[in-house]
Amino acid sequence: MIRYALTCTNDHGFESWFQSADAFDRLVASGMVSCTVCGSQEVAKTLMAPTVRPARKAGEQTPRPLTAPQNPAEMALAAMRRQIEENSDYVGLNFAAEARAIHDGEAPERSIYGEARLDEARKLVEDGVPVAPLPFLPARKTN
């Protein structure tokens, strides 16, 4: 895949991805590339600087993986997520019904987390069921 900076005859600038340079040429020749602003099919490539990563300096450590927390706030959020997932039951999309059943004494009291639509969550709060939004989306468990 290759990304090109493009411009039309009306000087509108935009970017687009193409499978290859040949694919770009074929698509332009067949009139299938048009300006995202005005729709003009007279489109040309413009000068674009390549994205180049700087070389690492001697002795510099390899950067941490993207999934590792990078700052104290992310580390605290990751710790909170671990705590919730280890000490609570994931009830998925049945969160509203399960929370209401626990509140009404129809189900055993325990910590749960899951997902609820906005209207379901609002109704739980209005009915005095103690719930709070999580600052992360739970990983949906399958099978």
pTM of this structure? 0.48
Spans in the chain with pLDDT lower than 50: none
Q: Which two tokens stand for residue 10?
A: 């009306």
Q: What is the pLDDT of residue 120?
A: 93
Q: What is the pLDDT of residue 18?
A: 85
Q: What is the pLDDT of residue 69?
A: 52
β-pair partners for 112: 89
Q: Which two tokens stand for residue 72?
A: 């104290």
Q: What is the pLDDT of residue 109?
A: 92
Q: DSSP letter at 94? A: T
CA distance 19 to 135: 38
Q: What is the pLDDT of residue 67?
A: 57
Q: DSSP letter at 17? A: E
CA distance 26 to 33: 10
Q: Could you report the per-residue pLDDT of 51-92, keeping only the tens digit for each? A: 676 766 655 666 655 555 567 878 888 888 888 888 999 898
